Every structure is written in structure tokens, then in C-alpha cells.
Structure 1
Amino acid sequence: MTSVTQIAAFGGVVMLGAMSPGPDFAVVVRRSAVSGRRHGMAAAAGISVGVFVWVAAAATGVAALLAASAMAFTVVKVVGAAYLFYLGARALRSALRGGGKPELDLPDPGRRNAWAAFAEGLLTNVLNPKAALFFVALVPQFVGSGALLEDALVLSLIALAGTVAWFLVVANVVGALRRLFTRPAVRRTVDGLTGAALIALGLRLATATRT
């Protein structure tokens, strides 16, 4: 059984990983700035579910299979990089158009926008094989070869809680400043910077290796 000390240590490492700049952070910031706090929180929830999936996969050995398979790693890498390119290009297009009404530039209206933001966060995380490598390296240090299913579940829930806590803070801080972000010049800057960052992260992912 995983000890309290191991749980605390694992949660701390996951939090540090969540706080590091990356596509997850860029997506939450842009969703919160452009579409408001609720959509930023939805994206944060999607990212956290993605982390839950990766930790569970790493604890049960599924993620290790992905990391070991060159073909599977390449497929996920290419799809993930293409998705980041898509998000980045969409943000840059919005910046070039000069901003506009601060809402999700997706066709589905109303409450479904929050689900779209959730899906965006989830896909951004799940389609990142580097997350698999991170957790494949991390999780075995906290669960042994004879780990129980409940150990995997505990670590997955701890990862989900830590990740969602951090990104909810980000979403609420950025959402609280939304009046500032609705200004056309600021909106263009946010779209331009996050778009460029997402494309750069996509390029980095596209050239990533398993080592």
C-alpha cells in the first residue's frame, strides 16, 4: 500500500510538473482570457482528467507500452503536434483579425462551449506522449511491481486533484482580469503570444524522441 509520505511526495512532483510552462498552461490561460473563467475552469478539468488517465496508464503498464513502441509513440506525437498547430494557428488567426467578441470560436453554442473547452484541455494533455514518458519515469518510483489496483487509483486521484487545483487557480486569476483581456490590444497580444507558444510547443513535440 502506498504510504502517506509517498502520496505527499508524488503530489508535490505532479504539482511542479503542472506548474511548468507547456501547452496545458497556454490553453488554460487563453481559454480564461478569451472565453472567461468558466471555460478556463472547464479546460483545467479536461487537462486534469488527461493527467488522471496517464497516471492510471503508467501504474498499470499501458503507458510503458506506448513509450516502448516506436510506432505508437510516433502516431501519438504526430497527432498531438498537429493538434497544437491547429490551436496555435487558430489563436494567431484571431490575433490577426484584431480580436473580437471574447468567446470560444467554435460552432457549438451555449453550454456546449464549456464542453468544447473541456475537450480541448483533455486532448491537449492526452495527445502529448511526453506526458506518458514523464509518468512512466515517475510512477514506478512510488508503486512497486506488486502494486495493487487501489495504489494506482490513489495516485491517479492525487494527480488529478493536484493538477486541477493548480489550473483552477490559473483560470480564476486570469478570469478575474478578464476586463483587461477584453481590450482589443491586450486580446491580440494574448492570442498572438499563446498562438506562437502553442505552435512552438507543437514543433518541439514533433521533434521529440523517446530518449
Structure 2
Amino acid sequence: MIPGATAASFLLVVILGAMSPGPDFVVVTRSALTGGRRAGIAAGAGIALGVFAWVVAIAFGVAAVLTASAVAFTVVKLVGAGYLVVLGVRAWLAVRRGEYRDLGETQAPKPKGAGAAFRQGLLTNLLNPKVAVYFLALLPQFLPADGSTPQTLELAAIATAGTVLWFVTLAVVVGALRRFFASGRVRRGLDAVMGTLLVTLGVRVAVEAA
């Protein structure tokens, strides 16, 4: 059992790490802007599941093998980079099509579903091996010298909870602000910005992996 003070400290570090700008942040923000609070929360839940999967992989040594293999690590990074670029290009294509109407119009396009947002969040996180590196470095700081697999899984649950807490908060805030982005022109501009951010992140990851 992880001591309460240690668990609280780990939770705080996880939340602070989740708050740092990156692909997860952009995906949740865009999901909440285009699909509303529910889609944003779903994307955050997908990211949290990805975090849980990475920490479980660490508990069973899978992530250690991945980070030890330069080829496997690079392949995962490149696939992840490609996925980010695809998401960014999709946003650009939406801008090009110009299918934006003011919210509330009867012919407004159907917003992104929670299922699609969840999958985007999950894949964005799972295809980012830096998450594995981050937790491989972080977990030993909070595990006792004789740390067991159950204790690692306990930290995985805490990491998942912290990730959910932050991204649900982010989705709720962005979803509440969505009413201020009711203009189709404004949402078109936001898609252009979000698409550019996603493509930029993808290209940066690919360059780092090269």
C-alpha cells in the first residue's frame, strides 16, 4: 500500500505534468470546442486510459523494453507523429470546406461524437512513447525500494485519476466557453489554429525521432 502522503505527492506531480501543453492538451481542447463538453470529457477519458495502459506496461516491463529499443521507440514515435499530422490536416480540411454555421442554426453540422473523441484521446496518448519515458523516470521516485507490482498498479490508478481530474476540468471550462465561440467564423479560425498546432507537434516529434 502506498502511504497517503506519497500518493498525494504523486497525484500532484501527475496533474502538473498533464497540465503542460502538448498533443493531449490540444486534442481535448479541440474536442470540447467542436463537440462540446461531453466530447472533451470523452477525449480526456481516452487519454487517461492511455496513461493507465502505459503505467501497467511499465509494471510488467513492456515499456522498459520499448524505451530500450531505439528502433521500436522510433517507430512508435513516427506513427504517433503521423497521427497528429492527420488530425491537424483534418482540421485544415474542415477550414477549407468552410462548413461552419453559427451555433443554433437548424442546419448546423452534427458535432463530433464522444466515441470519436475518446478514440482520438486514447490513440494520441498511446502513440506517444514519451509518456512511457516520463513515467519510467517518475515511478521509482514514489515506489519503495522493494516496490511490488500491486504498488505500481496502485500508482497507475492514481495517475489515471489525476489525468481524468485535469482533463475533465479543462473540458468543462472549454465547453463552458464554447458559447463565446458560437460564430462560425470564429470556430473556423480556431480549427485553423488547432490544426496548425497539431501538425507542428507531429512534425516536431518526427524530426526528433529522425
Residue 26 of structure 2 aligns to which amino acid in structure 1? A
Deviation at 1:99?
Answer: 4.6
Mapped partners of 1:204, 1:131: distance in 2 = 16
Cα-to-partner distance string for 1:145-188 (whole Å, 9 max, x where unaligned): 63222201210111111111110011111111222223112101
The two structures have a TM-score, normalised by structure 1, of 0.90
User: Any gaps of 5 or more consecutive residues in structure 1?
Assistant: 105-112
Deviation at 1:86?
Answer: 0.3
Specify the alignment match of 1:125 in structure 2: 125
User: Any gaps of 5 or more consecutive residues in structure 2?
Assistant: 101-108
Mapped partners of 2:16, 2:125: distance in 1 = 16
Mapped partners of 2:190, 2:50: distance in 1 = 25
Matched, 1:177 2:185: no
Specify the alignment match of 2:8 in structure 1: 8
Q: For this pair of structures, how many residues does the alignment match?
A: 202
Instruction: Provide closer, same or farther for how the CA distance between residues 78 and 4 of structure 1 changes in structure 2, counting only shifts above 3 A.
Output: same
Residue 111 of structure 2 aligns to which amino acid in structure 1? E
Matched, 1:67 2:67: yes
Specify the alignment match of 1:23 in structure 2: 23
Runs of 4+ in 1 over 6 A off after TM superposition: none
Q: Does the aligned pair in 2 maintain the 1:89–1:195 contact within 8 Å? A: yes
Instruction: Provide closer, same or farther for how the CA distance between residues 79 and 122 of structure 1 changes in structure 2, counting only shifts above 3 A.
Output: same
Identity across aligned pairs (percent)?
Answer: 53
Specify the alignment match of 2:167 in structure 1: 167
Q: Does the aligned pair in 1 maintain the 2:95–2:188 contact within 8 Å? A: yes
Spell out the pairing of 1:1-211 with structure 2 (5 A cutoff).
1-100=1-100, 101=109, 103-104=111-112, 113-144=113-144, 146-209=146-209
Deviation at 1:43?
Answer: 0.5
Deviation at 1:88?
Answer: 0.5
Q: Does the aligned pair in 2 maintain the 1:59–1:139 contact within 8 Å? A: no
